Every structure is written in C-alpha cells, then in structure tokens.
Structure 1
Amino acid sequence: MHFFIRSLARIQLRNTSRVFTSPITNYSLLANRTFSISSTKYNQTITNTTQDSKILKQLPDLTPLKLEDDLYAVIKVHSNPFLVTEGDKVILPYNLKHAQVGDVLNFNDVAVIGSRNYTFTDDSIDPSLYTIKAVVLEKTKLPMRIREITKRRQRKVRHAISKPHRTILRITELKLK
C-alpha cells in the first residue's frame, strides 16, 4: 500500500515539473540572435565589435606595491607555479625547446604580485601592469638513472632509463609599470 502511494506521488511530481513550450513559428526572431564562441585556440584572440557588449575593465591602483622595495611574483610556466623574486634562479623540470642559452624571456602568465605588506592576486594579471624578464642560463640533463621494474611472480627485470631535462633561468627584472 505504501509503495503504491509513494510511486503515485512520484508520478504526480514528474508531471507537474515538466515545462511545455510551443514550437517557434516565427523564424525572424532567430535571425536577430547572436552567438559567441566560448573556446579559443592557442595564441588566438577574439575581438567583439558590437557596441552594446563593450565592457570597460578598470586597472587596479597599485601605488602601495610600487612604493615597496622587494617584490615577489608567482609566475606560471606550462601552468606550473613558481614563486620568484628578482635575482632568483628558477630550475624548470623540462626543456624549453625554443629557448636558447642567453635568450631573454618575458613572462605574461602571473597569478600573484606582492611584497611583504601588500599582495595583488588574480587568475591572470594584465601584462600591461608589470614586467618580469628572465635569462636562460643553461639547458642541462640530470645524470642517467636506471630503474629496475619487475612484475610479481615473474623473473624478467626491465630497466627503465631516464635522463630528464632541466632549464635554468635567472630572473633579471621584476617591476611594476
């Protein structure tokens, strides 16, 4: 008896929660609709030329940070965060293919800029607010490591050889504009 009442209540809830809409017969309404692309390809920017969708982004006031002496930043290289200050050595655990020794790199992906007293955090801070430059000091490899890989109850031993890359950078400039 209780099972029947519960299932009847579920059926009534399902029937009342449905929303029925009539099909669109006037297709001229669809012609005025605009659609925006939500995903962008690598290194591609999308500009919107419609007048009603202009959003003015105000830049924050960073005068307290500009007056501080020692700044730090959290830069992201291949979405890995590194906390750096001016003069630091950064050891990247991979090979930057297009960077040669002596090249100057500009960092555009920064999550945090701060000092001892003030911090400014954002998902990605506008690159027009700061300059962070680094010089590639060296590109090396770690010594070869041989790791023995075995499976249970089997005599075969496989040797995995790894010689990982390292790219070493020196932060030469970190300042706010």
Structure 2
Amino acid sequence: MFTTPAARALRSLIIPRVSVRATAYTPLISRSFSSINSTTLQQQQQQQQQQQSSTISAATTTATATSINAQQQQTTQSSSIPDLTPLKFEKNLYATIKIHERPYLVTEGDEVILPFRMKHAEIGDILHFQNVTTVGSKNYTYHLDSSIDSSVVSIKGVVLEKTKKPMTVKEITKRRNRHTRHVKVKHDLTVLRITELKLNV
C-alpha cells in the first residue's frame, strides 16, 4: 500500500480503465444506413415519375397545339379562297405565271420562250407552275398580289427545246474613249408549251 504523500498523489492521478463495447451500437448504425438508402431510392423513383409525367404532358400539349394550328390554317385558307364557280364554267381561261420573278401571260396551248437556259430541266420534262398571280376569262378575273394557292389552279408545261438565238454582233464602248469593241453574242433560250390550265374548285 502507498503511504507517502507522493504515492497518494500518484494514486489520485491514475485513470481507471473504461471498456467500451462497439458491438452494442453496430445494429443502430446499420439500421440508420438502410433507412437512408430506402428513402433516397424512393425520392429518385418519385423524381423519375415526375419527369416522365412532365414529358408526357409536354408532348400532349405540343400535339394539341399543332393540331389546333393546322385546323386554323385550313379554316383561314378556306375562308380566304372566294367562290370561283363562275370561272369554272368559262372557256378560254388565261393566267399570269411568274418564272424567276418575270410575269408571263399564258393560255392553254401557248408556247413560252424564256430568255435563259433552264439548267435543271431537260427536254420532255413536265413542269408544274405554282407561282400564279392571276386567273381569269373574258368576264371574270381573280387576282392576288401573292401567289394563288396551288390547290385552286393547276398549270402544267412541257419543255420543247433548249436552243440559242441567232448570232449577233454587240458593240461595246466606253465613255471618253473612241475605241469600239465588237463581240459576237448567242443568247440561250428555253421553249415551253402550256399543256394544262384548269381550276380545281
């Protein structure tokens, strides 16, 4: 036994050993982790379901919007086209078509001479003219500043030939210069025939 004062002081400083059992707390920790994992999985599933529902609703709204726009366009087109039954029973219809922004007044059976070469059309090809501004007869006329709808009138033509003009000599001069240059020129031509001109209303 310790009898001296120093020994008593050392005895008071001795720290008792404490035994801690970690096994008693492990079940609680595992349970908490399992509960956290289950809650996170549930949250992820809910987020996925919400995203799927939002995408489905967006697709349905876009589909309904497109259908509504198509119906509105059809109604506006039907309302913008007037009653053309008087023109339907007329004979010798004429029309004004635009080819490269140049107007041509044509009837069925006419030959049209274009002052250029159509690169993408060959001899015998059938052309559908859609830029039509005027359709009329002796008594009635239907005109639009923009092109008439292709469902109202159909005009077709066939390419007859692709040729050139006769050779001509062109004089080229410059200002304040007495010299004159002579150039031989042969311009390209394309000949069409209008095979069909009718109303579809």
TM-score (norm 2): 0.59
**Distance between the aligned counterparts of 1:96 and 1:144, measured in 2?**
20
Q: Deviations over 1:141-174 (max 9, x none)?
A: 1122221223355343323332111111110100
State the Cα deviation string for residues 58-87 of structure 1 (Å, max 9, x = none): 232110000111100000000100000000
Q: Which of 110, 117, 124 pairs up with 1:95? A: 117
Q: Deviations over 1:121-148 (max 9, x none)?
A: 1121000011101111111111222212
Distance 1:98 1:163 in 2: 20
| Aligned AA (2:186) | K
Amino acid at match of 1:114: G
Separation in structure 1 between the aligned mates of residue 69 and residue 128 of structure 2, nearest angstrom: 35
Query: Unmatched 5+ residue regions in structure 2?
Result: 1-64
CA deviation vs aligned residue, 1:75-105 (integer Å, no higher than 9, x gap): 0000100000000011111111111111111
Q: Residue 126 of structure 1 corresponds to which residue in structure 2?
A: 149
Equivalent runs, 1:34-53 vs 2, <5 Å: 49=66, 51=68
Aligned-partner Cα distance in 2 for 1:62–1:131: 14
Tell which structure's C-alpha radius of gyration is larger: 2
Q: 1:63 aligns with which of 68, 85, 89?
A: 85
Are 1:135 and 2:161 matched, yes or no?
Answer: no
- 1:109 corresponds to: 131
Shift of 1:51: 4.7
Alignment root-mean-square deviation, CA: 2.0
- State the TM-score, normalizing by the size of structure 1: 0.67
Distance 1:145 1:52, change over 3 A: closer
Would the alpha carbon gap of residues 61 and 147 (structure 1) be closer, same or farther in structure 2, given more than 3 Å must change?
same
Amino acid at match of 1:162: V
Higher helix share: 2
Answer yes or no: is 1:83 the counterpart of 2:82. Answer: no
Q: 1:160 to 1:67 in 2, by over 3 A?
A: same
How many residue pairs get aligned? The number is 130
Q: Percent identity?
A: 56
What's the secondary structure of 1:127's corresponding residue?
Answer: coil
Partner in structure 1 of residue 192 of structure 2: 169
**Structure 1 unmatched ranges of 5 or more:** 1-47
Structure-2 change in CA distance of 1:115 and 1:93 (3 Å): same
Determine helix, strand or coil for the equivalent of 1:64: helix
